Amino acid sequence: MPNVTPAADSHTMTPIDGGITAPEGFTSAAVHCGIKAKPGVLDLAVLASNALASVAGIFTTNLAQAAPVLVSKRHLDMTRGIGRAIVVNSGCANACTGDEGLANAARMASEVAADLGCEPSQVLVASTGVIGVGLKMDRVVSGIRQASSSLARGHGGEAARAIMTTDPFPKDGAVRVATASGAYTIGGMAKGSGMIEPNMATMIGFLTTDAQVPPALLRRALRESARDTFNAITVDGECSTNDSLFAMASGASGVAVTDDLYPGFLDGMLAVSRHLALGIVRGGEGATRVIAVTVRDAQTVDAARQVARTIANSPLVKTAVHGADPNWGRIVAAAGRAGVAFDIDRLTVTVGGVLLFDHGLPHDDAAPQAAEAFARDTVDVELSLGAGDASATIWGCDLSAEYVRINGEYRT
């Protein structure tokens, strides 16, 4: 993450190491408990606050919601945004597992609570992996006890590895935010590679901060930061049963986020979230390139997002990018079926700064330069609808044969 110095206010941000436990007041531990068959592969993690913290969460809009999603939503309602810990496993989604799955998710919270000396409702639960498979609770309980007894700072990187499924690399990050009232830290980790279509946040993500943030304000910052980061990415247009995004604020820095400090806090949340979200896209199943689709001059932000998302999700656009084929016609066609009204005679399309379509007319003479732009690690697609002054960006990735192989063999 680059250093950021906002011009509009008096805070500065600096990237730091440490990930999810970079903020003061947080510890974590990761273990292999046997959910994943390969020996030694981390598959369970516990993240804990040293004291009661503000907590917030946003969840999948999929109607087939997994047991950990239902339990975590219930716990947030019960505590009104106060908690101590999150327990997460990979390798098994505990989704579509009925009453037994709900009981298992609740037991995961109870086991952590017993080890930390808090109420079960003060523990949130997340799971990721294969749908329709039950957790082996003897292994999970043993792993929870092992993790709870070894909580420490400096284990953020291990926790980020423990939540991976098909992810090709772990994703974590942190920033230090300096203000006139003092400094605080925001950290985070996330997993996600396939089944990525953000209808809440997407994937499983965790953000921590040692700023003092009331639960209601933390919920607001989580939603606002997710809107333009986790909610602005897509790999394959698939919304998971387990999508969850959590935030915890320990307050250990002593810096209270007031209305005056909120813009800086939101900037920090955005910086960490964007870093993690783009990591998810770059690590998408089989991905070789990131596609950044920016739609400008739309009537509304929602209209711009709808057009950008349709383009980023188009299999024809994604395969053209994979093959470095400057097929601007696929981009125009996807925009035209997005359900947003615009005049094609006012539409312009550029890729990597190369103008390919201008006010209804093609510029095929630019195809050689466009082919080079399509072959870059990040392919920047920009459209102007000529209908207003709103804009939005959605990040996606290309579609390769490797994506088909991974998902064709996921359960086997």
Annotated active-site residue in 97, 202, 350, 393: 202
Please confirm, yes or no, whether 202 is among the known catalytic residues.
yes
Helix residue spans in 228-314 (DSSP H): 262-282, 301-313
CA distance 35 to 165: 11
Which of 189, 276, 270 is CA-nearest to residue 224? 270
Bridge partners of 209, per DSSP, are 186, 249
**Do the Cβ atoms of 189 and 160 come closer than 8 Å?**
yes
Give bridge partners of residue 380 from the DSSP assignment. 292
CB of 104 within 8 A of CB of 110? no
Burial class (CB in 10 A: 0-12, 13-18, 19+), 345: exposed
Question: Is 96 in contact with 127 (CB distance < 8 Å)?
Answer: no
DSSP assignment letter at 53: E
Burial class (CB within 10 angstroms; exposed 0-12, middle 13-18, buried 19+) of 412:
exposed
- One-character DSSP codes across 314-376: -HHHHHHHHTT---HHHHHHHHHTSS----GGG-EEEETTEEEEETTEE-GGGHHHHHHHHTS
Give the catalytic positions in this structure: 202
